[in-house]
């Protein structure tokens, strides 16, 4: 939890949440979505939801059916003051995209299937949204660097983050942004800052934004209400539906054709179809997977024998890219074509997730057309399979 929370926590940690009792009858936020063609290959639904009440409660504000080839869709929600909502698509597109809004805001976003893993995205229209999003992206970058680097570098990035939150807290004219920066300092850097300093900062926020309820109130979590439980259930159903949808688009049975285009250590995109080899061994592995790395000596022997006809396309699902690079050096696998299957948010990219891999090591032997001719070959099985194929 300590690893994942910072990426999701900016403006997700207010000290006070509004109650539906505060809601006016008319919704006061409009969200206009412009959809890429790849978003409407299949009909789906988009939802708008948020937290409310004591901070544990959740609710949907709106939903809209997106038909095939539809270009634009509009949703409406409610915020009592500077606040954030979330967009969730049932099949293709983001699962939890932050939308920052003030009352009477109109936010206009361009959405494509490439945004599937995105949490934050700049808007075509929406000044407050873009300011809050820019802050979120800036801080999330340093949280990622903090996790990736050595223990000696953690204090350096922690100091950068504390300075960033402190600066935003004092300089931002937006109460939600300033208050959320205080929440981050309190949650993750309490020991470094000290209770006395935190109390001073809290008092400063309360005085500076005296007409902003979250700056002056503290909530006490209550038991989840029925609406929240139904909201959570529906979000879980959508998550499962999305996973099933992606897997249905990829045939991993013998004879199925695979398509991957992933970056190597230099950021250069390498596609399976670019390899132009008689056989391609697609190996899914990770630096922390001992059984995966135990296969390396076998792969080296096979590659040496069939170096004219075989290429190894090694896809790492490491979330720590530094550990991935270190493992490549340790295993001395320069002859392999190494690519990374996790993105900048340190999650498996859509194409890799769609393979439906439940455990590793996992591998596929492909022909020159990237069609699967064998899979899950361990130890000497790859050599035996290639020997058999070449005798045919």
- Specify whether 259 is located in the same domain as 371: yes
- Specify whether 96 is located in the same domain as 164: no
Q: Is residue 276 part of a domain?
A: yes
* Structure letter (DSSP) for residue 68: T
Whether residue 50 has a cis bond before it, omega within 30° of 0:
no
Q: How far is CA 200 from CA 11, 205, 302, in A?
A: 21, 9, 65
Start-to-end Cα distance in the chain: 53
Helical (H) or strand (E) element with 173: none
Q: Kindly report the CATH number assigned to the domain that includes residue 65.
A: 2.60.40
Length of the chain: 392
With contact defined as beta carbons under 8 Å apart, do 148 and 320 qualify?
A: yes
Buried-state track 262-277, b at ≥16 Cβ within 10 A, e below 16: beeeeeeebebeebeb
CA–CA distance, 383 with 368 (Å, rounded to integer): 18
- Specify whether 321 is located in the same domain as 364: yes
CA–CA distance, 253 with 229 (Å, rounded to integer): 38
* Structure letter (DSSP) for residue 183: H
- Specify whether 269 is located in the same domain as 387: yes
- Specify whether 174 is located in the same domain as 99: no
Which of 184, 172, 143 minimizes the C-alpha distance to 11?
184
- Specify whether 149 is located in the same domain as 115: no
Domain boundary among 125, 150, 178: 125
Q: Is residue 3 part of a domain?
A: no
- Please report, to the nearest 10 degrees, the dihedral formed by the alpha carbons of residues 222, 228, 230, 236 taken in order: -110
Helical (H) or strand (E) element with 356: none
Q: Phi/psi of residue 280, each to 5°?
A: -130, 125
- Please spell the DSSP secondary structure of 271-327, one letter per residue: EGGGS--SEEEEEEE-TT-HHHHHTHHHHHHHHHHTTTTEEEEEEE--S-HHHHHHH
Q: Determine the 3-state secondary structure of 10 from DSSP.
A: coil
Sheet holding 29-35, edge to edge: 72-77, 29-35, 106-111
Q: Is residue 7 part of a domain?
A: no
With contact defined as beta carbons under 8 Å apart, do 59 and 20 qualify?
A: yes
Q: Kindly report the CATH number assigned to the domain that includes residue 335.
A: 3.40.30.10
How do the pLDDT tens digits run along the chain, 392 residues long?
233 334 333 444 443 445 554 444 589 999 999 999 989 988 999 999 999 866 678 999 999 999 999 999 999 999 999 999 999 999 989 999 999 999 999 999 999 988 888 899 999 999 999 999 999 998 888 888 887 777 778 889 999 999 999 999 999 999 999 999 999 999 999 999 999 999 999 999 999 999 998 887 665 667 889 999 999 999 999 998 988 887 777 778 899 999 899 999 988 999 999 998 999 999 999 999 999 999 999 999 999 999 899 999 999 999 889 999 999 999 999 999 999 998 766 677 778 888 888 889 999 999 999 999 999 999 999 999 999 998 86
Q: Phi/psi of residue 239, each to 5°?
A: -60, -45
All residues at 6 or more sequence positions from 383 whose CB lies less than 8 Å from its CB, including other chains: 298, 301, 302, 305
Q: Is residue 110 part of a domain?
A: yes
What is the pLDDT at residue 54? 60
What is the pLDDT at residue 148? 72
Q: Is residue 286 part of a domain?
A: yes
With contact defined as beta carbons under 8 Å apart, do 351 and 257 qualify?
A: no
Domain boundary among 93, 125, 157: 125
| Confidence (pTM) | 0.69
Buried-state track 155-178, b at ≥16 Cβ within 10 A, e below 16: eebbeebbebbbebbeebebbbbb
Q: Is residue 219 part of a domain?
A: no
- Specify whether 121 is located in the same domain as 141: no
CA–CA distance, 34 with 47 (Å, rounded to integer): 15
- Specify whether 303 is located in the same domain as 384: yes
What is the pLDDT at residue 215? 82
In angstroms and rounded to an integer, the radius of gyration of the C-alpha atoms of the chain is 24
Q: Is residue 149 part of a domain?
A: yes
- Specify whether 142 is located in the same domain as 268: no
- Specify whether 140 is located in the same domain as 268: no
**Residue that is written with structure tokens 């498996």 in the block:** 348
Q: Is residue 232 part of a domain?
A: no
Domain boundary among 209, 235, 265: 209
Provide the number of structural domains found in the chain. 3
User: Tokens representing 207?
Assistant: 């005085």
Owning domain of residue 343: 254-391
CA–CA distance, 153 with 322 (Å, rounded to integer): 13
């Amino acid at each position: 939890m300590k690893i994942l929370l910072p990426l999701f926590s900016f403006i997700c940690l207010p000290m006070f949440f509004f109650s539906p009792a505060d809601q006016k009858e008319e919704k006061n936020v409009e969200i206009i979505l412009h959809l890429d063609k790849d978003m409407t290959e299949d009909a789906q639904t988009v939802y708008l939801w948020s937290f409310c009440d004591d901070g544990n409660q959740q609710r949907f504000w709106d939903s809209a059916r997106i038909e095939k080839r539809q270009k634009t869709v509009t949703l409406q929600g409610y915020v009592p003051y500077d606040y954030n909502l979330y967009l969730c698509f049932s099949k293709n597109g983001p699962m939890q995209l932050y939308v920052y809004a003030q009352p009477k805001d109109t936010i206009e976003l361009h959405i494509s299937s490439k945004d599937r893993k995105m949490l934050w995205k700049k808007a075509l229209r929406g000044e407050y949204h873009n300011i809050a999003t820019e802050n979120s992206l800036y801080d999330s970058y340093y949280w990622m660097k903090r996790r990736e680097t050595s223990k000696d570098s953690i204090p350096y990035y922690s100091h950068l983050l504390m300075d960033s939150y402190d600066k935003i807290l004092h300089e931002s004219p937006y109460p939600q942004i300033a208050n959320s920066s205080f929440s981050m300092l309190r949650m993750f850097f309490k020991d470094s800052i000290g209770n006395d300093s935190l109390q001073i900062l809290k008092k400063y926020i309360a005085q500076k934004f005296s007409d902003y309820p979250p700056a002056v109130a503290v909530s006490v979590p209550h038991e989840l209400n029925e609406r929240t439980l139904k909201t959570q259930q529906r979000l879980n159903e959508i998550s499962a539906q999305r996973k099933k949808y992606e897997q249905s688009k990829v045939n991993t049975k013998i004879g199925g054709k695979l398509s991957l285009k992933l970056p190597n250590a230099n950021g250069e995109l390498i596609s399976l179809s670019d390899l132009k080899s008689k056989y391609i061994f697609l190996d899914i592995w990770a630096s922390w997977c001992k059984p995966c790395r135990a296969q390396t000596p076998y792969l080296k022997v096979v590659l040496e024998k069939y170096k004219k006809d075989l290429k190894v396309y090694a896809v790492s699902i490491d979330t720590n890219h530094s550990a991935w690079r270190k493992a490549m050096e340790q295993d001395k696998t320069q002859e392999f074509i190494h690519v990374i299957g996790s993105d900048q948010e340190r999650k498996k990219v859509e194409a890799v997730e769609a393979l439906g891999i439940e455990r590793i090591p996992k591998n596929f032997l492909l022909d020159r057309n990237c069609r699967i001719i064998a899979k899950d070959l361990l130890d000497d099985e790859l050599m035996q399979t290639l020997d058999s194929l070449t005798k045919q």
